């Protein structure tokens, strides 16, 4: 776990976009630490996503309800940023919910403060763009995986690219994320285990 807002700002810059010490300073001044317990809701359905959240410690998931069923759309863990893109960009109520799956420490980058800082510092604008690009590419890769890969391929991809999710998230949420039933996930995992 990182301790100071400056350390967090430096880590965000390292992961997403190289920044000067001044740029890191600007970012560190708008970061807001948030501590969550497992099960806490960061963003309830119907509320506006007023910040991007950098995960310093723990894991969160984005989900929604469809026909009374809970559908997981995304997981974020240490070193990742989570936000509801449409709600954040339009500043309109979100249909997605963000929940802590573990005791979690987030650093919020508030919408208003970020937009003010972008007017004053070009590096903040570049960072904003890089984070949006990363989020859109990640979203597209997930959508393509759902469209073009079978259940075994989707599980193998997750195991290869984000093993943390398989190790830490509840199986029910992983099955939902991979668009399969828990029974199918169990069979796929068993087959994968026998292969290894």
The tens digit of pLDDT for each residue in 79-92 reads 999 999 999 999 99
pLDDT mean across residues, the chain: 93
**pLDDT recorded at residue 191:** 81
| Residue predicted with more confidence, 148 or 192 | 148
Question: How does pLDDT run across 36-86, given as a tens digit for each residue?
Answer: 999 999 999 999 999 999 999 999 999 999 998 999 999 999 999 999 999
- 163 confidence band (pLDDT: 50, 70, 90): very high
Q: pLDDT per residue over 82-120, tens digit each?
A: 999 999 999 999 999 999 999 999 999 999 999 999 998
pTM for this entry: 0.92
Instruction: Indicate the pLDDT class of residue 27, thresholds 50, 70 and 90.
Output: very high
Tabulate helix, strand, coil % of the chain (nearest 5). 55, 25, 25
pLDDT band with cut points at 50, 70 and 90 for residue 2? low
Dist CA 95 CA 86 (whole Å) = 9
Whole-number pLDDT of residue 190:
84
Sign of the CA dihedral with 40 first, then 34, 173, and 65 last: positive
Confidence of residue 193 (pLDDT cuts 50, 70, 90): confident
Q: Confirm or reject CATH 2.60.120.10 for domain 5-138, answering yes or no.
A: yes
**Tokens standing for residue 143:** 């959508």
């Amino acid at each position: 776990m990182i301790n100071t807002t400056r350390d967090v700002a430096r880590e965000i810059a390292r992961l997403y976009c190289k920044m000067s010490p001044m740029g890191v300073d600007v970012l560190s001044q708008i970061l807001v630490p948030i501590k969550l317990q497992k099960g806490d809701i960061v963003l309830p359905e119907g509320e506006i996503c007023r910040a991007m959240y950098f995960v310093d410690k723990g894991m969160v998931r984005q989900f929604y309800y469809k026909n009374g069923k809970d559908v997981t759309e995304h997981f974020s863990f240490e070193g990742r940023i989570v936000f509801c893109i449409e709600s954040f960009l339009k500043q309109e109520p979100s249909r997605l919910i963000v929940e802590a799956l573990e005791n979690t420490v987030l650093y919020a980058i508030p919408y208003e403060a970020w937009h003010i800082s972008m007017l004053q510092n070009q590096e903040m604008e570049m960072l904003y763009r890089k984070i949006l690009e990363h989020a859109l590419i990640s979203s597209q890769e997930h959508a393509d995986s759902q469209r073009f890969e079978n259940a075994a391929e989707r599980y193998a991809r997750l195991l290869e690219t984000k093993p943390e999710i398989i190790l830490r998230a509840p199986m029910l949420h992983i099955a939902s994320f991979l668009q399969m039933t828990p029974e199918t996930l169990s069979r796929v995992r068993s087959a994968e285990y026998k292969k290894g």
